Amino acid sequence: MDSPQRISVVGTSGSGKTTLAKQISQRLTIPHVELDYLHWQPNWVEVPNDVMREKLSQALSGNSWVVDGNYSMVRDIVWGKADTVVWLDYSFPVVISRVVWRTFQRVVKQQEVCNGNRETWKTTFSRDSIILWALQTYHKNRRQYALLLQKPEYAHLNIVHLRSPASAQNWLSLIPTYYE
């Protein structure tokens, strides 16, 4: 297997996109781009779409990178330049348990999400809750990715469809590193 060089990691909230993207980045020694960092300014202020698109175009100007995130406003840029899409398509119980555990860990430990932003108890139990977002978007995202990845404009992509955390770790272990 040749090593992928321009990789997009997608999946519903809580599936482990950032964690896997960091692992891919370390294994292949390529830059890691988190779309959340490009999208969210301090105090959870969203950047305008044109600014995000410009930041992303600059971040992906190199020959190799791994990007994680599901922002449809930049999908054409990411997937247009990517050679591989890794779809983390885990079961509902796995995703929901992960997003709940991660949220509570972040709130209790006051871990930064991105650009100084943190999750709070108030947001956890509000309409802005990432847990609520995951509950509302899980099934829609799965249907959407199944359809998107079949479109002719994405025929150039190597699709890696992973259905469990164990399969993700197995796939990662099979990627040849630069030194192998």
Per-residue pLDDT tens over the stretch 47-98 = 999 999 999 999 999 999 999 999 999 999 999 999 999 999 999 999 999 9
- CA 33/CA 55 separation, integer angstroms: 11
> Would you place residue 179 in the very low, low, confident or very high pLDDT band (cuts 50, 70, 90)?
very low
pLDDT at 1 (0 to 100): 52
Q: For the segment 24-48, what is each residue's pLDDT rounded down to a tens digit?
A: 999 999 999 999 999 999 999 999 9
pLDDT top residue among 129 and 8: 8
* pLDDT given at position 64: 96
Residue 31 φ/ψ, nearest 5 degrees: -65, 145
Q: What does the block give as tokens for 25?
A: 């980045």
Q: What is the per-residue pLDDT for 128? A: 85
Q: Which residues contact 129 (CB under 8 A, 6 or more apart)?
A: 103, 123
Structure tokens at 105: 């860990």
State the virtual CA torsion across 60, 61, 63, 66 in degrees, nearest 10: -10
SS3 state of residue 163: coil
- The closest of 17, 11, 62 to 37, measured between CA atoms, is 17
Give the Cα separation of 60 and 43 in Å (integer): 26
What's the one-letter identity of residue 30?
I
CA-to-CA distance for 15 and 93, rounded, in angstroms?
Answer: 11
pTM above 0.85, yes or no: yes
Helix (H, G, I), strand (E, B) or coil at 59: helix
Per-residue model confidence (pLDDT) at position 168: 96
| pLDDT, tens only, 93-139 | 999 999 999 999 999 999 988 888 889 898 888 888 899 999 999 99
The whole-angstrom separation of Cα 175 and Cα 161 is 15
Q: What is the pLDDT of residue 116?
A: 86
pLDDT for 117 equals 86
Tokens of 74: 């930049």
